[in-house]
Amino acid sequence: MKDTIPLEIKNIGLPINTVNADFAAYPVNDSTLFFSSLRKSEIVVEKNKNAQDYKVQLLMISSRKDTFNSASIKNIIQDSIDPIANGSYNHNFSKFYFTKCPQGNDCKIWVKETINSKDTIYQLPKPINQEGFTSTQPYVAFEGAKEILYFASNIPKGIGKFDLWKATIEKNEYTELQNLQKPINSIDDELCPFYDTTQKQLYFSSNWHEGLGGFDIFYSKKENNLWQKPTNLGYPINSSANELYFFHYPSKNITYLTSNRIGAITEKSATCCNDIWYYQLPSQEPSKEILRVDSSFTLLKQFTPIPLYFHNDEPNPKSIDTTTSITYEITFQSYKNKFNDYLKINKVHPKEPQENNPIAEFLTNEVESSWKKLEQFTHQIYQQLNKGKRLEVTIKGYASPLANTDYNIKLTKRRIASLDQYFRTYQSGVLIPYLEDTAKNKGYLHLIKIPFGEYKAGNHVIDDINNPDYSIYSLAAAKERKIEIINVELSHEDTLHSRIKFNTEIHDFGAIANNDILSFIFRLSNKGNYPLEILRIDNNNSNVSIEYDPKPVLPNQQIEIKVLLTPELTIGKKIIHFQLYTTAKNSFKELTLTYEKIR
């Protein structure tokens, strides 16, 4: 397998990104960036005292020496109470196209035209805008000798929900309206057109064409006046979250995109809100290794972690078994049937807007969303196994503390077993030969199971069985009842990278009655074909010391990492983490020690 060229997708950060939605970066020149953002609006408050004081705005910001100045942020379209977004200039900057969405009505494409330093703002006529339908995300580019307006719309005579369209701009007329048809448009949504005049390629986002989950970014070229089959830009440009608003700015060889991937600035769930991201290719020429989807294992990595949630004491309540015949799909559907109970006990009306209540948002955006993510992940796993890949999937267990630690360990084993059963019953058992290592193509799926039990649950969760409204139905308790697919790795990979493997990544000292120093040795093995070096070990625990030989670890060799722990004086369960960084392919590992001080 050939490694892809390293590419770092960076969050553009403050002051452009906020905890709300920020999207659609549009570089006007080397020092000015337009973007759309959900922010507090003094105009809304002033004009409508009963309105929400937040709205989507089209903003500009200036930079100096690649540093953006928050004081330079300005509103591009002044004095509008309506949400405005998605801007694009024409070739001579005399017209600025944007989307305006009047409250409660369909979005339409508008233009601010500048003639003799005087601005006129008006809505585009038919056929671009049509009553009862939305037209949005305008992008203007030259295609040959013609100036073309690309946009997304659900106007009649399309193929799917939102399609990509184009029209020729001639003075103030918009003619030759065309649906881009198949293979670009699909039965679902195609959005965010960007035409690269240098490469003569159309970039866009779709949630239908084969991808990694959500909306992915694709590109297509025209040959013999026909659009070719779209190509997925692949990982790490795309992820299992949504990727939208691709924009390449050749002057600085920088590409912007919008994504709600993990790492976005948020006060809610990890993937709640869009941020603007960017990357730069090593050279001016796009890399074919990056701009394609293939069978590369790296596509799978972006799916993890995947938390999978359970109702209290499920599956098999009040059981001391460590296995189950119930699949995670069944436990999820049972959990979903109880969603209204959670809303009722938390005094939330089922029809209340989701963003107004944390428990409803959690049930939808995390519990249900994680199930959908598991389905996508399993499909990708099957594709890899079909090609003879040997995979290791690491699963950790958690539990909210309504029972003793021993019971919770057994409960988390049952929960992990329910995921095992889900894999075994997937598509009538197609994964069983891979789980049992009997597949003819030598593909193998090895599940590494780490049942943490209560030690990993947060200390803020009450374990009072007489208070079920909190210990079972509260948001805090619901978040703890989970297992998590934390990682996927290749068991055997033809690569020069070093690879690390531990004998264990967690050790439980059990019950501790005295203050004697505790000792444990983690054994690290290099399973790759290249020497491995430990770059650093992050240890923020004052009662823990770590000893190891800093020399490189040769292939098929191992070293010992000795950990000395002085127990705390306070009684209760303790959990200690430290992080190890290496030069290996799977470079980061978190190691864990647990114990319970009983006196």
Cβ neighbour number for residue 172 with a 10 Å cutoff: 11
pLDDT value of position 51: 44
Which pair of structure tokens corresponds to residue 81?
Answer: 């109470």
The stretch 107-121 carries a mean pLDDT of 89
Query: pLDDT at position 579, please?
Result: 78
pLDDT of residue 201: 92
Nearest one of 370, 400, 521, 382 to 470, comparing CA atoms: 400
pLDDT for the residue numbered 419? 96
How many percent of the chain have pLDDT more than 70? 83
The confidence band for 211, taking pLDDT boundaries of 50, 70 and 90, is confident
How many angstroms separate the CA atoms of 507 and 543, rounded? Answer: 16
Backbone CA torsion sign across 342, 348, 349, 351: negative
Binning pLDDT at 50, 70 and 90, where does residue 416 land?
Answer: very high
Of 460 and 204, the structure prediction assigns the larger pLDDT to: 204
Residue 332 to residue 572: CA distance in whole angstroms = 32
Average pLDDT over residues 5-22: 85
Stretch among 91-100, 462-471, 527-536 having the lowest mean pLDDT: 462-471
Q: Please, what sign has the CA dihedral across residues 563, 566, 568, 573? A: positive
2 confidence band (pLDDT: 50, 70, 90): very low
Lowest mean pLDDT among 398-402, 521-525, 581-585: 398-402
Which of 285, 99, 127, 290 lies closest to 193, judged by CA? 99
For the stretch 468-519, pLDDT in tens is 556 688 888 888 889 989 878 776 443 444 567 777 777 878 788 888 899 9
Each residue's pLDDT tens digit, 354-369: 455 788 888 888 899 8
pLDDT of residue 281 exceeding 80, the answer is no
The pLDDT value given to residue 289: 40
127-184 pLDDT, tens digit per residue, is 999 999 999 999 999 877 788 999 999 999 999 899 999 999 987 888 899 999 999 9
For residues 257-272, average pLDDT: 78
Q: Which of 24, 11, 87 is nearest to 278 (CA)?
A: 11
b/e sequence 5-37, b meaning 16+ C-beta within 10 Å: eebebebbeeebbbebbbbbbbbeeeeebbbbb
pLDDT digits (tens, 9 = 90+) for 21-41: 899 999 988 889 999 998 876
> Where do we find the tokens 């790795």?
489
Q: What is the Cα–Cα distance from 595 to 52, expressed in whole angstroms?
A: 50
pLDDT above 50: residue 460? no
Q: Model confidence at 587, in pLDDT bands (50, 70, 90)?
A: low
Question: What does the pLDDT average to over 44-49?
Answer: 45
| pLDDT for res 468 | 59
Express as a percent the part of the chain with pLDDT over 90.
34
270 confidence band (pLDDT: 50, 70, 90): low
pLDDT in tens, 322-354: 899 999 999 999 999 998 888 888 776 555 544
pLDDT, mean over the chain:
81
Q: Is the pLDDT of residue 400 over 60?
A: no
Burial of residue 569 (CB within 10 Å: 0-12, 13-18, 19+) is exposed
Q: What is the pLDDT of residue 37?
A: 92
Per-residue exposure over 210-227, b if at least 16 CB sit within 10 Å of its own CB, e if not: ebbbbbbbbbbeeeeeeb
Instruction: Give the pLDDT confidence score for residue 191 in this predicted structure.
Output: 96
pLDDT of residue 352: 52
Q: Name the residue with higher pLDDT: 335 or 291.
A: 335
**C-beta of residue 190 within 8 angstroms of C-beta of residue 204:** yes
**In which band, very low, low, confident or very high, does the pLDDT at 291 lie, cut at 50, 70 and 90?**
very low
Average pLDDT over residues 273-288: 70
Give the C-alpha separation, 79 to 58, whole Å. 12
* Three-state secondary structure readout of 396-414: EECCCCCCCHHHHHHHHHH
